């Protein structure tokens, strides 16, 4: 018997979530036209470090925007190299902690800079469009943040290209996955990530329950996790980290959680993102996010956490429903993602 992460959702309901009705599709077309009109002009990116290199048409490129990711950047690059990423295309948003130097030292990384701010490009969406314009459409991309580690069924041994083949056989052009916030055992202030460590070494836990999945106006959405459990409010956890980019695909005008076209965002979860959200570094980072106000809603989610009265070095996020991150098939068993290779849709 599966211990489901989404206990109110069985396989039949999941399949219905992936098939919007005719009336819903008409509404999507109207909504998408509005979203495309609000898209910002494509920003200019300036190559930094070594000159970008050409990438084979069938290679999978990772696009990412990062700022001050040096503590976990080596683990990030190693993780995605192991999965089979051919090239990293990174916009460095004014890092000053050694991130730029680490990126420039990596032979498979192309680093770019911009005169625009994170807020001016719609929370990095415009930068992602500029990157795919440079590397070409009609190819598969991984689009993640520097604190997100992609998992898919049997990713311990199966290359990303095999997972992409699963998606293509299922007729999918993107993979929906929940963002599983990582947090430590014990006091938050004690979870210090040292150079060379993987984030799981200090923040190995996720919430094993309390999630919900629903069909929203912009696609299938997943909600919950420790931010909702401890600090209230709704946190949308769904993203599409593996995505086929064609002429219709657009990040700007949409959101991190719903790229355009919107009709492709109705799907069964087929992957997951380990999200390195909570560690000792969060104590300063969250307050900086609030001061800058560049994240969604003027960083309202982070403001709620910082002003909660419980957020501090002594905070213990663990509870009886906490789970250590295990094998990917355990995540499948618990309902976090569906295994397309085994025929489940």
Which helix (H) or strand (E) element contains residue 142?
Answer: strand 139-145
Residue 63 lies in a domain: yes
Q: What is the pLDDT of residue 26?
A: 64
Q: Give mean pLDDT, residues 43-51.
A: 85
Residue 242 lies in a domain: yes
Residue labelled with tokens 């509404």: 27
Q: What is the pLDDT of residues 3-28, one digit of tens each?
A: 567 654 555 555 665 666 656 666 67
Q: How many CB atoms lie within 10 A of CB 75?
A: 18
Both tokens of 226, joined, read 């420790």
Q: What is the pLDDT of residues 106-123, one digit of tens each?
A: 999 999 998 887 777 767
Residue 311 lies in a domain: no
**CA dihedral over 227, 229, 232, 238, signed as positive or negative:** positive
* Residue span of the structural domain in which 185 resides: 11-276+319-340
Are 270 and 193 a contacting pair, CB within 8 Å?
Answer: no
Residue 299 lies in a domain: no
Which helix (H) or strand (E) element contains residue 238?
Answer: strand 238-245
Residue 2 lies in a domain: no
242 contacts: CB under 8 Å, gap ≥ 6:
140, 141, 142, 150, 152, 160, 163, 164, 167, 174, 175, 177, 271
Residue 143 lies in a domain: yes
Is the confidence at residue 343, as pLDDT, over 80? Answer: no
DSSP 17: H
DSSP 188: G
Give the three-class secondary structure for 180.
strand
Task: Calculate the alpha carbon distances from 186 to 280, 316, 339 in Å.
Answer: 11, 5, 33
Q: What is the pLDDT of residue 11?
A: 57
Q: What is the pLDDT of residues 233-253, one digit of tens each?
A: 788 899 999 999 999 999 988
Q: How confident is the model at residue 216 (pLDDT cuts 50, 70, 90)?
A: confident
Residue 1 lies in a domain: no
In total, how many domains does the chain have? Answer: 1
Task: Give the Cα separation of 345 and 343 in Å (integer).
Answer: 6
* CATH code assigned at 241: 3.90.550
């Amino acid at each position: 018997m599966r211990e489901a992460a989404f206990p109110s959702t069985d396989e039949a309901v999941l399949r219905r979530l992936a098939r919007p009705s005719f009336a819903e599709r008409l509404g999507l077309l109207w909504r998408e036209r509005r979203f495309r009109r609000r898209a910002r002009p494509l920003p200019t990116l300036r190559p930094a470090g070594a000159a970008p290199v050409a990438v084979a048409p069938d290679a999978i490129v990772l696009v990412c925007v990062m700022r001050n990711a040096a503590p976990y950047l080596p683990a990030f690059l190693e993780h995605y190299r192991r999965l089979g990423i051919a090239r990293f295309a990174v916009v460095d948003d004014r890092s000053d902690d050694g991130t730029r130097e680490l990126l420039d030292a990596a032979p498979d990384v192309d680093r770019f800079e911009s005169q625009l701010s994170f807020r001016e490009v719609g929370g990095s969406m415009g930068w992602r469009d500029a990157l795919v314009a440079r590397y070409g459409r009609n190819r598969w991309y991984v689009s993640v943040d520097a604190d997100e580690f992609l998992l898919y069924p049997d990713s311990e041994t199966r290359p990303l290209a095999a997972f992409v083949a699963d998606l293509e056989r299922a007729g999918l052009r993107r993979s929906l996955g929940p963002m599983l916030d990582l947090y430590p055992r014990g006091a938050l202030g004690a979870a210090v990530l040292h150079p060379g460590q993987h984030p799981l070494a200090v923040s190995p836990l996720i919430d094993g329950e309390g999630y919900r999945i629903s069909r929203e106006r912009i696609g299938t959405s997943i909600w919950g996790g420790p931010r909702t459990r401890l600090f209230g409010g709704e946190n949308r956890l769904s993203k599409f980290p593996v995505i086929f980019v064609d002429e219709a695909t657009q990040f700007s005008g949409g959101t991190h959680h719903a790229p355009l076209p919107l009709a492709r965002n109705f799907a069964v979860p087929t992957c997951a993102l380990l999200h390195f959200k909570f560690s000792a570094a969060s104590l300063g980072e969250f307050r900086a996010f609030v001061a800058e106000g560049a994240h969604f809603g003027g960083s309202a989610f982070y403001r709620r956490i910082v002003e909660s009265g419980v957020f501090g070095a002594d905070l213990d996020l663990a509870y009886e429903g906490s789970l250590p991150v295990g094998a990917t098939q355990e995540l499948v068993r618990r309902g976090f993602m569906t295994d397309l290779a085994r025929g489940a849709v």
